[in-house]
């Protein structure tokens, strides 16, 4: 299904998914393309709750998830394979190879995820959904010069296929049986880096074929970023431009919109006594919504003991998607996630005035109070057909906090690491479906090295509690999940086992679809030339 997420109660369209700092989303509806990532190359995930446009390369940005994928090779040649099996026919195959890090380096990675049919329809326990297959291929070529400059050429091919999928099972129309869906695309990028400057050109083609018809979009764009010093201040800036063209047909209605976008921004920062400060402005223009602009200002203070405080105020903007602007009125309600809606070419951009206050101690303790005042929210109004309108407004007030630590237990020579984090909303945006009242996540990991540290046993327990969530016409209750993981590393081989949802909790993340109950996963990761 579509990969949706929320940070600080924002809609998925109020989030920006980046891969190594480059936006990674469907050009038609701005949905994140996280399911098409080659996860075998992921090194870390960065969450930025209210992101500076200078970091995202987008003047219209709010919260950001930046997935950092390893680029280039390592000193020796390196290869890795990861194979996983689980309940309900869940299987994954991941492998990649990289030549030694030298003047020219090449990398190839392949990921595949599969799942059989399983029972998940809340209104019909005997109904089966699934038979899912996702594949992605990544090719990287890196060339390094003598002046510490670098050229990266990246090609990506990805595809999802679903057989007999019913995306909205509550619509039990016998004339609308489950359908097959194919979602695929191709992405390429050429990037040149020298010192603090970076220039790139990129292309992305995304296509979805289903019973309702098909959507296909091609995006061509380029961007430049730079960072350096202007006197005592750090300076970071960006400019970017792109053009998107589409050829769509939904329920017999053909439409071929196009959209142009150009934007840029500049951020400065530095020290003023014991205060660290940052300020920035960004602006751009887009077909349909016209000119947009935002800005930010932040200060922080820390002492030698590690205690620090931060204060940030910003105006963030979100431009409407091509779907919200140009989708024509559809005459029927399809059995899927394309509702009977009509775009509005006169939509304006959303604005969000934000403020946050943070306190922390080193990297172990952090707490933030945040408030966001959302205006001109784009929402669907009316019926026959429903039309996108920029009339929504709401407020969000919340608290997020995290604690972590570690050390040695002194028992059986185990080292330990623990983490606890959570969100709580005093006021949620009522027009944003699916935002939980609260969310708490905790974990404990025990690690024991042996045989001159060539073998490592790791035992982990993760628990989460998710509060109630509102959707149009329905409220979903809270639920608790507990997962157990065990892994054994022997030289370059990792054997791993996971028991997911130990309590066999029956829960829904969206109305009408049950998530998997208690199930297991078993896998092997093999690293060569390590």
Please report the domains of the chain, with CATH numbers, ordered by start residue: 12-528 (2.40.170.20)
Note the pLDDT of residue 136: 93
Res 497: pLDDT: 95
The per-residue pLDDT for 483 is 97
CB 309 within 8 A of CB 300: yes
CB 351 within 8 A of CB 315: yes
DSSP assigned state of 52: -
Low-confidence ranges of the chain (pLDDT < 50): 1, 167-173, 175, 332-338
Q: Where are the beta strands (DSSP E) in 20-90?
A: 22-23, 42-48, 63-69, 78-86
34 DSSP assignment: G
Considering all CA atoms of the chain, what is the largest pairwise distance in Å, rounded to the nearest integer? 71
- In angstroms, how far is CA 75 from the centroid of its own chain? 30
pLDDT at site 122: 61
Each residue of 64-98: pLDDT tens digit? Answer: 888 898 887 777 788 889 999 987 778 899 998 99
pLDDT value for 332: 47
What SS3 state is found at 466? strand
The rounded distance, in Å, linking the Cα atoms of 386 and 147 is: 57
- Contact between 179 and 110 (Cβ < 8 Å): no
């Amino acid at each position: 299904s579509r990969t949706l997420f929320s940070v600080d109660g924002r809609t998925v369209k109020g989030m920006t998914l980046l891969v190594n700092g480059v936006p990674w989303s469907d050009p038609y509806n701005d949905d994140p393309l996280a399911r098409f990532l080659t996860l075998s190359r992921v090194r870390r995930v960065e969450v930025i709750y209210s992101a500076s446009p200078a970091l995202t390369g987008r003047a219209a940005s709010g919260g950001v998830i930046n997935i950092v994928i390893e680029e280039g090779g390592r000193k020796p040649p390196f290869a890795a394979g990861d194979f996983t099996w689980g309940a309900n026919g869940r299987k994954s195959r991941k492998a990649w190879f990289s030549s030694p890090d030298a003047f020219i380096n090449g990398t190839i990675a392949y990921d595949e995820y599969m799942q059989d049919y399983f029972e998940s329809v809340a209104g019909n326990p005997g109904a089966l959904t699934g038979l899912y297959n996702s594949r992605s291929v990544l090719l990287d070529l890196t060339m390094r010069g003598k002046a510490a400059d670098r050229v990266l050429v990246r090609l990506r091919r990805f595809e999802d296929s679903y057989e007999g999928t019913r995306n909205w099972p509550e619509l039990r129309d016998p004339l609308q049986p489950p359908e097959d869906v194919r979602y695929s695309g191709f992405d390429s990028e050429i990037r040149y880096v020298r010192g603090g400057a970076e220039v790139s050109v990129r292309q992305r083609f995304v296509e979805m074929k289903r019973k309702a018809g098909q959507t296909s979009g091609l995006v061509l764009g380029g961007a430049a970023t730079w960072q350096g010093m202007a006197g005592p201040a750090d300076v970071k800036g960006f400019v970017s431009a792109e053009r998107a063209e589409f050829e769509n047909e939904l329920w017999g209605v053909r439409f071929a919109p196009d959209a142009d976008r150009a934007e840029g921004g500049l951020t400065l920062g530095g020290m003023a006594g014991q205060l660290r400060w940052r300020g920035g402005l960004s602006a751009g223009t887009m077909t349909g919504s016209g000119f947009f602009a935002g800005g930010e200002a932040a200060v922080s203070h820390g002492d030698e003991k590690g205690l620090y405080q931060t204060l940030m105020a910003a105006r963030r903007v979100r431009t409407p998607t091509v779907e919200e602007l140009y989708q024509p009125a559809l005459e029927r309600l399809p059995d899927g996630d394309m509702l009977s809606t009509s775009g509005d070419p006169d939509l304006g951009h959303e604005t969000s005035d934000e403020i946050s206050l943070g306190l922390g101690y080193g990297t172990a303790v952090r707490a933030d109070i945040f408030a966001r005042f959302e205006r001109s929210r784009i929402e669907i109004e009316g019926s026959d057909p429903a039309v996108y309108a920029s009339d929504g407004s709401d407020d969000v007030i919340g608290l997020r906090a995290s604690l972590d630590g570690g050390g040695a237990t002194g028992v059986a020579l185990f080292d330990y690491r623990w983490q606890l984090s959570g969100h709580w909303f005093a006021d949620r945006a009522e027009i944003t479906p699916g935002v939980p009242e609260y969310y708490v996540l905790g974990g404990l990991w025990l690690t024991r090295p042996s045989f001159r540290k060539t073998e490592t046993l790791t035992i982990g327990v993760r628990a989460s509690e998710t509060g109630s969530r509102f959707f149009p016409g329905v409220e979903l209750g809270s639920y608790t999940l507990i997962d157990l993981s065990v892994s054994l590393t022997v030289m370059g081989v990792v054997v791993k086992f996971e028991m997911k949802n130990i309590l066999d909790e029956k829960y829904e993340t969206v109305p009408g679809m049950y998530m998997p109950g208690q199930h297991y996963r078993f896998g092997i990761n093999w690293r060569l030339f390590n």
